[in-house]
């Protein structure tokens, strides 16, 4: 078996080794059934136990109120960009959006395509999305305020969430769900593609408050209604069973091995702090996000030249560190520090950065 590298990929991203080992066993013979988890019926008690355990652990670790619904859907966060305005902007109302990068821009575009009334109340586009806006006024009685909690490409993150009063918050938390503690009660809906902090690509976590379900119209396609999935416990049609199984294993690992979201946050702050300290103490590496908007999950930085960046990524790969190339739209370098990325991985990266600077600075 080939040795595993330190995986800094932005998504699909690192998964805990104990999860992968458990998944291998379940993929051959799931709980003594004589079948793979990929073969058992999604209507069976075997699979429903997996699904219900994932729901229960999500509620427990995020401290969700009992009546919040936890759904596992398909189509990625990108489908949620359209489902949210389709379901949650009733006639005669308008939604607010704050644009902090590529994924916010895509979410806004879907509202535009659907011709759903909306207002972009703030944007950091004026400085190439290097910061999280602080000055904005939420429209009274807006259907919701949509934000992207963490921006993987630009390396920015909401340090605290907007206080929106009676306006429900809606957030794309694809890249920082389960990475830090927050109060879920102001959120009408939270969604997260699994492939960063939760599991593999192919399933999307949706958390929805019951009052939001009351808005869902009956004149949109059945599969695009949140009520369709909430009424059937995510089992209206065949769900992505293997992906949900892996999410359940990740949640079990996070709760029972790591110690829950609180412990994960402490670990994530230590990892990010170590890497940002390395960047800040030198003129060779330059962080790209404003200090007060920096992400704990995606640390973005540049080197003095693009040639050096290519060399940095290539040499890091040779030394067992993968996924450090920045997004193709912005270039540079990026280290994604999701829950499954260990402190040892970050220490190894920091040591490499010091050596690389000595040789090339």
Whether residue 244 is predicted with pLDDT greater than 80 in this model: the reply is yes
- Average of per-residue pLDDT across 283-305: 97
Q: How far is CA 293 from CA 15, 79, 300, in A?
A: 26, 27, 12
Question: For residues 63-73, b (16+ Cβ closer than 10 Å) or e, as one string?
Answer: ebeeebbbbbb
Whether residue 112 is predicted with pLDDT greater than 80 in this model: the reply is yes
Residues 208/187, Cβ–Cβ less than 8 Å: no
β-bridge pairing 187-193 and 150-151: unpaired
Distance CA 154, CA 293 (A): 10
Burial class (CB in 10 A: 0-12, 13-18, 19+), 46: middle
- Mean pLDDT over the full length of the chain: 97
Helices (H), 63-209: 76-88, 102-113
- Active site residue ranges: 103, 172, 196
Q: Which candidate, 15, 11, 7, places its Cα nearest to that of 340? A: 15
Check residue 113 and give its pLDDT: 98
Q: How many CB atoms lie within 10 A of CB 277?
A: 10
Check residue 2 and give its pLDDT: 59
- Average of per-residue pLDDT across 277-290: 96
**Per-residue pLDDT tens over the stretch 165-219:** 999 999 999 999 999 999 999 999 999 999 999 999 999 999 999 999 999 999 9
Helix (H, G, I), strand (E, B) or coil at 309: helix
Residues 103/53, Cβ–Cβ less than 8 Å: no
Q: How confident is residue 3, by pLDDT bands cut at 50, 70 and 90?
A: confident
Q: What is the CA radius of gyration of the chain?
A: 21
This prediction has a pTM of: 0.97
Distance CA 213, CA 209 (A): 7
Residues 96/84, Cβ–Cβ less than 8 Å: no
**Per-residue pLDDT tens over the stretch 99-111:** 999 999 999 999 9
- HEC assignment per residue over 188-247: EEEEEECCCCCCCCCCEEEEECHHHHCCCCCCCCHHHCHHHHHCCCCCCCCCCHHHHHHH
Check residue 355 and give its pLDDT: 98
Whether residue 118 is predicted with pLDDT greater than 70 in this model: the reply is yes
- Average of per-residue pLDDT across 12-33: 96
Helix (H, G, I), strand (E, B) or coil at 15: coil
Q: Which domains does the chain have, with CATH numbers?
A: 17-258 (3.40.640.10), 260-360 (3.90.1150.10)
Q: Quick one: angle between helices 45-62 and 241-253, nearest 10?
A: 40
Check residue 361 and give its pLDDT: 87
**Per-residue pLDDT tens over the stretch 120-156:** 999 999 999 999 999 999 999 999 999 999 999 999 9
Beta bridge partners of 189: 170, 208
| DSSP helix, strand, coil percent of the chain (3-state; round to 5) | 40, 15, 45
């Amino acid at each position: 078996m080939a040795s595993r590298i330190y995986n800094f990929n932005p998504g699909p991203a690192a998964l805990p080794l104990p999860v992968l080992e458990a998944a291998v066993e379940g993929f051959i013979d799931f709980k003594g059934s004589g079948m793979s988890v990929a073969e058992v019926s999604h209507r069976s008690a075997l699979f429903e136990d997996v699904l219900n355990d994932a729901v229960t652990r999500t509620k427990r670790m995020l401290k969700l109120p009992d009546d919040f619904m936890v759904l596992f859907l398909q189509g990625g966060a990108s489908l949620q960009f359209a489902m949210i305005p389709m379901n949650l902007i009733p006639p005669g109302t308008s939604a607010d959006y704050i644009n902090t990068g590529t994924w916010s821009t895509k979410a806004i575009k879907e509202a535009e395509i659907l011709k759903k009334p909306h207002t972009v109340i703030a944007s950091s586009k004026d400085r190439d999305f290097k910061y999280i806006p602080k000055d904005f006024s939420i429209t009274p009685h807006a259907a919701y305020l949509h934000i992207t909690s963490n921006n993987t490409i630009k390396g920015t993150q909401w340090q605290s969430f907007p206080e929106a009063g009676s306006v429900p918050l809606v957030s794309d938390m694809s890249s920082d769900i389960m990475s830090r503690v927050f109060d879920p009660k102001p959120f009408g809906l939270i969604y997260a593609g699994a492939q960063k902090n939760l599991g593999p690509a192919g399933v999307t976590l949706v958390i929805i408050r019951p009052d939001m379900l009351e808005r869902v119209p009956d004149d949109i396609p059945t599969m695009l209604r949140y009520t369709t999935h909430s009424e059937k416990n995510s089992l209206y049609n065949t769900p992505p069973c293997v992906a949900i199984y892996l999410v359940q294993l990740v949640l079990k690992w996070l709760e029972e091995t790591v110690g829950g979201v609180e412990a994960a946050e402490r670990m994530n702050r230590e990892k990010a702090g170590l890497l940002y300290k390395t960047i800040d103490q030198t003129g060779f590496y330059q962080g790209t996000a404003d200090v007060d908007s920096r992400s704990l999950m995606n640390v973005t930085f540049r080197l003095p030249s693009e040639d050096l960046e290519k060399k940095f990524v290539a040499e890091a790969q040779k030394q067992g560190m993968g996924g450090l190339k920045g997004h193709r739209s912005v270039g540079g370098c990026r280290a994604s520090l999701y829950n499954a990325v260990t402190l040892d991985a970050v220490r190894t990266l920091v040591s490499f950065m010091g050596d690389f600077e000595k040789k090339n600075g």
